[in-house]
A and B are shown apart, each in its own frame.
Chain A
Amino acid sequence: MAAKDSANGAAKLADRVGRWTVSTVEEVGNGGVLVAESLYWLIMGPSLKQPVRPGAIVVQMMEVGIKAIPIIAMLGGTIGAMLAIQSIYMLRIFGAESQVTYGVAFSVVREFAPLITGILIAGRSGSALAARLGTMKISQEIDALKVMGINPVRFLVVPSLVALVVMVPALTLFNMFVGLFCAGLYINADLGISLAAYFDQTITILSLDDLLHGLGKSVLFALLVGVIGVINGASVTGGAEGVGKVTTRSVVQSISAIIVTDMLFAFMATR
């Protein structure tokens, strides 16, 4: 009896692992299909009389980008100052505090600006996207769009994705400036290096490659946040509780995906 039970348990575990694997692969596949479908509507939409409305993109850009500026400024500045503090602390061991600009410039531009912006947008806009689509699905608004002859991907998904892909790099760039500026302020106060000298050195240190590294990553993060939000929102079942679940799920998945992608991107780009 016990042997039978344990065999049963093993079979159940294998079954569950198998199902989880299949559903994960399916979800990743759905993400790819969604990006392809979005590109299709963006390009082919006008000839099918289903154009993506510029107005809808602007509305999303306001929501995703412009309204996020204050919080991005605040966090970007704080992270910049934090990096300056930690770098000076570490470099003091070698008596090399004056080289702090190296640490700060590379960290902010290549790593922290895109990462913090991505995580913030995942929490702010990815969750909102999942919740909006999920609510629309359970209240039959998606069905209503379909029966009106309006493709939901074209009408709802493409504007959000375009807005994310444009605004997240823009916010990242903004985050870089604020971060570097605040780091400069701290360095100026602590080490007495003038802001002019600091920025002069920063510009010398950084190459276009570093900037593109940061911005390139942020485009990937934008796509990840958008696609994960949409896939989760579209997969909602079970009413208001379901919407809450997929919203949480989309935030956790987006942030995880962003951090893993960040590491992989850094690895590939520095080889």
Chain B
Amino acid sequence: MTDHPEKVIEVENLVTHYGPRKILDGVSMNVNEGEIMVIMGGSGSGKSTLLRYLMALEHQTSGSIKLLGQDIDTLSQKEMFDLRKKIGVAFQGGALFSSMTVGENIMLPLYEHAELDMMTMEIMARMKLEVVDLAGFEDLMPAELSGGMIKRAAFARAVVMDPKLLFCDEPSAGLDPVVASALDDLILKLRDAMSMTVVVVTHELESVFKIADRVTVLDRGKILFIGTLDELRNSKSERIQNLLNRRPEEDAMDPDEYLRRLTGQEESVGDATL
């Protein structure tokens, strides 16, 4: 439990279920201090699920997750609250509180956790708004902002406590290329200026090659690849090359299985009356 662990995130053999369905199957990965780790993979690969577990929002079936050197399963309620203060999250849809102004949204973590006077908190909130180029928008409601502005405001809220660890869920999803690129620059800027460790979930290849130090590729709940960008480009794996070159996957088809699926008879095809 040192203050500056070499490894900010340590995941070991993580197995998770959603109902009876197994989503993650033995995932192990590390994220080092100060690096930008991109988690990528196709839809349904389990990348969003992995992020939810890294944010300690769910309880795993087995395996362990350590954040900033602390095993999140062994922490008391109070220790968990303290750990969360060192972690920022920018959600995919922003998740700004619609009943509060942008400024109040950004101040909320300060208001709840730091004992500062109102003036100081307002100044800190405005500083973060400057960082994300939203100065002067603090009195607007989230509903009055555009998609890109909401994402930037969400970034400002995520970093207002100067976290050691920042999670970004699909930062560029649904944005035009210019705004998406500006957000990538913002992530790089935040990492360099505040020496944060950043974990980004995305499937935008351009983003990946622009910001990533290392990449984790998930496929059907398992780790397919972990390594640097060069290693990713030179990977021999066919599935990775498909992902990089945007080739659709063609699974070999089993006619019996296909028939079973169409008739809705999962167990016994013999009963099917066509």
> A interface vs B, CB < 8 Å?
48-50, 135-136, 139-141, 143-144, 146-150
B-side binding surface: helix, strand, loop or mixed? mixed
The proximity string for B residues 78-119 relative to A, scoring 1 for CB distances below 8 Å and 0 otherwise, is 101111110101011101111000000000110011000000
Alpha-carbon distance A146/B91, docked complex (angstroms):
12
Question: Do A149 and B57 touch across chains, with their CB atoms under 8 A apart?
Answer: no
* A-B residue pairs, 5 tightest by C-beta: A149-B84, A144-B95, A140-B95, A149-B81, A147-B89
Do B93 and A150 touch across chains, with their CB atoms under 8 A apart? Answer: no
The interface residues of chain B lying within 8 Å CB-to-CB of A135 are 98
Query: Roughly how many angstroms separate A139 CA and B105 CA in the complex, as a whole number?
Result: 15
B78–A147 CB distance below 8 A: no
Task: List the interface of chain B (C-beta within 8 A of A).
Answer: 55-57, 77-78, 80-85, 87, 89, 91-93, 95-98, 108-109, 112-113, 167
- Within 8 Å by CB of A144, from B80, B87, B89, lies B89
Query: In the bound complex, what is the Cα–Cα distance between A148 and B89 (angstroms)?
Result: 8
* Distance A48 CA – B76 CA, assembled complex (angstroms): 11
Given the complex of chains A and B, what is the CA–CA distance between A49 and B82 in angstroms?
10
Tell me how far the C-beta of A155 lies from the nearest C-beta in chain B, rounded to whole angstroms. 8
Q: How far is the CA of A136 from the CA of B94 in the complex (A)?
A: 12
A148 touching B91 in the complex, CB below 8 Å, given contacts A48-B78, A49-B81, A143-B57: no
- Give the distance in Å from the alpha carbon of A49 to the alpha carbon of B80 in the complex: 12
* CA of A146 to CA of B112, assembled, Å: 12
Known: A146-B57, A147-B55, A148-B112. A48 touches B77 (CB 8 A): yes
A-B contact pairs, 5 of them (CB 8 A): A139-B95, A143-B55, A146-B57, A148-B84, A149-B81
Shortest beta-carbon distance, B89 to chain A, in Å? 4
CA distance A8 to B57 in the complex (A): 40
B193 to chain A, nearest CB (A): 21
CB nearest to B113 among chain A residues: A149
Contact A140 B109 (CB under 8 A): no
* Complex CA–CA separation, A48 to B82 (angstroms): 10
B109: which of A49, A50, A136, A148 is its contact (CB, 8 Å)? A148
Chain A residues, Cβ within 8 Å of B85: 149
Q: Is the CB of A50 within 8 A of B93?
A: no
Residues of B within 8 A of A150 (CB): 108-109, 112
Task: Among A48, A49, A50, A143, point to the contact of B95 (Cβ < 8 A).
Answer: A143
> How far is it, in angstroms, between the C-alpha of A146 and the C-alpha of B95 when the chains are bound?
12
CA distance A127 to B167 in the complex (A): 34
- Chain A nearest CB from B234 CB (Å) reads 36
Given contacts A48-B78, A49-B78, A148-B108, 16 further A-B contacts (CB under 8 A): A49-B113, A139-B93, A139-B95, A140-B91, A140-B92, A140-B93, A141-B96, A143-B57, A143-B91, A143-B95, A144-B89, A147-B55, A147-B57, A147-B87, A149-B109, A150-B112
